[in-house]
Copies of this chain bind each other. A is one copy, B any other.
Amino acid sequence: MGGVLDKAGITEAALRLIEKKGYDGLTMAALARSLNVAPSALYNHVKSKRDVLLLLEDHLASLVDVSAFGVGQWEDAVRTWAWSYRDVFSQHTPLIPVIAVLPVTDAPQTLAMYETVSAGFRDAGFPEERIVSSIVALESFIFGSAYDVTAPADIFDPGSMAEATPSFTGAVRSLAEQGHERPADVAFGLGLEALISGLGGLRG
Residues of A within 8 A of B (CB): 93-94, 96-97, 100-105, 108, 111-112, 114-115, 118-119, 121-122, 128-134, 136-145, 147-148, 150-152, 154-161, 164-168, 170-172, 174-175, 177-178, 183-184, 186-188, 190-191, 193-195, 197-199, 201-202
Contact = CB atoms under 8 A, between A and B. Distances in A.
A35 B121 CA distance: 54
6 contacts: A101-B147, A103-B157, A104-B158, A111-B158, A133-B187, A190-B202
A171 B199 CA distance: 16
Contacts of A132: 156, 171-172, 174-175, 183, 187
A101 B152 contact: yes
Nearest to A202: B190
A115 B140 CA distance: 25
B111 A168 contact: yes
Nearest to A144: B140
Contacts of A202: 190
B171 A100 contact: no
Contacts of A168: 111, 114-115, 118-119
In order of increasing CB-CB distance, the 3 nearest A-B pairs are A194-B198, A137-B191, A140-B144
A79 to B, nearest CB: 14
Contact of A183 (B136, B155, B172): B136
A112 B165 contact: yes
B103 A137 contact: no
Given A129-B178, A134-B187, 14 more contacts: A96-B147, A97-B147, A103-B152, A104-B158, A111-B168, A119-B168, A121-B171, A122-B171, A132-B171, A133-B175, A140-B144, A140-B145, A191-B195, A194-B194
A119 B167 contact: yes
